[in-house]
Amino acid sequence: MINAAGIAALIAKLNTAQVYGEAARLRNAAFSISTTGSNVHLAWMNGLNPRVYTAPEAEQLRQAALPVLTGTADFAGRLRKVAFALEQYADAVSPIKAKLRALHGEATALEAKVKAEGDDWTKNEDLTKENNRILGDVQAQVAVLSAAEQQCASAIYATYGGRPPAPRCTATPRPTTPPWGTAEKDGEESIPAPRDGEGTPSDAGTSPVVEGPAPQRATTGRCRRLLDNWRAHLLAGGVGEVPPESGTTIFRMEAGEPRSPH
């Protein structure tokens, strides 16, 4: 049966305001990094102005600070792309969250009908069909959410040229019951419960398991771990490759302007 509490738990995890906040902080960090690099380069060049400093090695010294300018500008640009990926993710999640809220209301109303009907409610074909219809709509939104998470994680990987790790596989996938409920037989083919990793974000209560060469799904938790890696990368001075956590197919993206939370 549909579980309204499970839908509510999924909705609670979709904190778009927090994602927009992370994007804004990354944009602020990018601005500070690029501004600092530019100021250091400018101060260096002013100190070595030909009118106040002349020496055989003067031009070589003036060029020595150029990597500070270009390096900070490049790193700031990559941070802006990560921020843009997060903004795109939050933009995609907002309508999903709204639809899930509407479905939560329908699930709550159905639970009341089921309670009034009693233990034999599954004999009521209208109720079982409504249950399966709501469940199917929830699972459809979960699939859209999973795709948005996948795009976000892939875009973050693409900013530093990282490669997604190989998907984890299992020879015997374990069936799982999604937290938002199960289908009921209504005389027609019932909706099968998804396997681990099939349209069920791991943050919603399961661990992704993938058969064969199918791509591993990215999750909100993995996007968060990628951001944590970026923070560590910043603290280390932006040297080396960011340690990978998850990833999927490469997602093409361009840098854009800040988005406002909806």
CA distances from 255 to 78, 86, 202 (A): 9, 11, 29
How many CA atoms lie within 13 Å of 234's alpha carbon, on the beta-carbon side? 16
Q: What would the two tokens of residue 143 be?
A: 């699939």
Alpha helical stretches, state H, the chain? 4-13, 16-47, 58-64, 66-117, 125-159, 220-235
Q: How many CB atoms lie within 10 A of CB 160?
A: 18
What pLDDT is attached to residue 231?
Answer: 56
Q: Which residues contact 122 (CB under 8 A, 6 or more apart)?
A: 128, 184, 185
What confidence score (pLDDT) does residue 11 get? 95
What is residue 232's predicted lDDT score, i.e. its pLDDT? 59
Q: What pLDDT does residue 207 have?
A: 29
Do 238 and 74 contact (CB within 8 A), yes or no? no
Contact between 145 and 201 (Cβ < 8 Å): yes
Owner of token pair 């699939």: 143
Torsion sign (Cα): 97, 101, 107, 108: positive
The two three-digit tokens of residue 22, written as one number: 């992370």
Which residue has tokens 């109720």? 127
With contact defined as beta carbons under 8 Å apart, do 179 and 173 qualify? no
Q: Which two tokens stand for residue 261?
A: 């939370």
b/e code 201-226 from CB counts within 10 Å (16+ = b):
bbbbbbebbbeeeeebbbbbebbebb
How do the pLDDT tens digits run along the chain, 262 residues long? 999 999 999 999 999 999 999 999 999 999 999 999 999 999 998 888 888 888 888 888 888 989 999 999 999 999 999 999 999 999 999 999 999 999 999 999 999 999 998 988 989 999 999 999 999 999 999 999 999 998 998 899 988 877 665 555 545 556 678 899 888 885 444 444 444 444 445 443 332 322 333 333 334 455 556 666 655 555 554 444 444 443 332 233 333 333 433 3
Cα(194)–Cα(177) distance, rounded to whole angstroms?
Answer: 8
Contact call for residues 146 and 201 (beta carbons, < 8 A): yes
pLDDT at 236: 52
> Looking at the DSSP assignment, which residues form a beta bridge with residue 2?
181
C-alpha–C-alpha distance, residues 210 and 196, integer Å: 7
* pLDDT at site 167: 56
| CA–CA distance, 41 with 67 (Å, rounded to integer) | 9
- pLDDT for residue 38: 94
pLDDT at position 54: 86
Q: Which amino acid would we find at residue 85?
A: A
pTM of the prediction? Answer: 0.67
